[in-house]
Amino acid sequence: MATFLFDQTIFGPVISRRLGVSLGINLLPNTSKLCSFDCIYCECGWNPDPRKVKAVLPAREEVKTLLEAKLKAMAHANQLPDVITFAGNGEPTMHPNFAGIIDDTLNLRDLWAPKARIAVLSNSTMLFKAPVVAALKKVDDNILKLDAAIPETIALMNQPVGLFNLDTLVDQLIAFKGQLVIQTMFLRGSFQGKPFDNTTPDEIAAWMKLLQKIHPGRVMIYTIARDTPLDTLQKISLPELKQIAARVKSELNIEVEVSG
pLDDT at 2 over 90: no
What's the CATH number where 183 sits? 3.20.20.70
Could you give phi then psi for residue 109, rounded to 5 degrees?
-60, -45
4 within some domain: no
Other C-beta atoms closer than 10 Å to the C-beta of 159 total 17
Strands 10-16 and 20-26: antiparallel
Percent residues over pLDDT 90 in the chain: 87
223 within some domain: yes
2 within some domain: no
Could you give phi then psi for residue 35, rounded to 5 degrees?
-150, 150
Q: What's this model's pTM, rounded to 2 decimal places?
A: 0.93
First to last CA, the chain: 20
131 within some domain: yes
Give the pLDDT band (50/70/90) at residue 21: confident
Per the structure, the count of domains in the chain is: 1
Residue 3: predicted pLDDT: 65
38 within some domain: yes
80-99 pLDDT tens trace: 999 999 999 999 999 999 99
Range of the domain at 174: 10-259
Residue 260: predicted pLDDT: 72
3 within some domain: no
161 within some domain: yes
Looking at the DSSP bridge assignments, the partners of residue 122 are: 144
CA distance linking residue 190 with residue 193, whole number of Å:
6
CA distance linking residue 155 with residue 165, whole number of Å:
10
5 within some domain: no
